[in-house]
């Protein structure tokens, strides 16, 4: 799973804050930097969730009776299946 670097997260947060700042329908109740930091935290928390899902999918593959080589077609199919299962569980929890 590809991770966003701290620099990319900061860059995205600045883009979002600038877009919100330019929107006449948005008023900031906090300082601009506080809003940006809240966006950074939200992105980081979201990435942690996806990392957990990734880890669980990989653990399920590793627990198979036969060893499945990462990168193989079988591994990719199982990864997508287990990843989507974990993602589905997460979305059911948030409903």
Question: Confidence band (pLDDT; 50, 70, 90) for 22?
Answer: very high
* pTM of the predicted model as reported, rounded to 2 decimal places: 0.75
Contact indicator for 74, 92 with CB cutoff of 8 Å: no
Question: Confidence band (pLDDT; 50, 70, 90) for 77?
Answer: very high
Question: Confidence band (pLDDT; 50, 70, 90) for 70?
Answer: very high
pLDDT at position 92 is: 76
Half-sphere exposure of 70 (CA within 13 A, CB side): 7
């Amino acid at each position: 799973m590809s991770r966003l670097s701290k620099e990319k997260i900061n860059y995205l947060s600045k883009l979002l804050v600038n877009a919100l700042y330019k929107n006449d329908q948005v008023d900031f109740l906090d300082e601009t930097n506080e809003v940006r930091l809240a966006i950074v935290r939200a992105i980081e928390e979201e990435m942690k969730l996806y990392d957990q899902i990734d880890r669980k999918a990989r653990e399920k593959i590793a627990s198979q009776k036969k060893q499945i080589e990462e990168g193989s077609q079988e591994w990719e199919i199982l990864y997508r299946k287990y990843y989507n299962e974990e993602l589905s569980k997460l979305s059911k929890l948030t409903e």
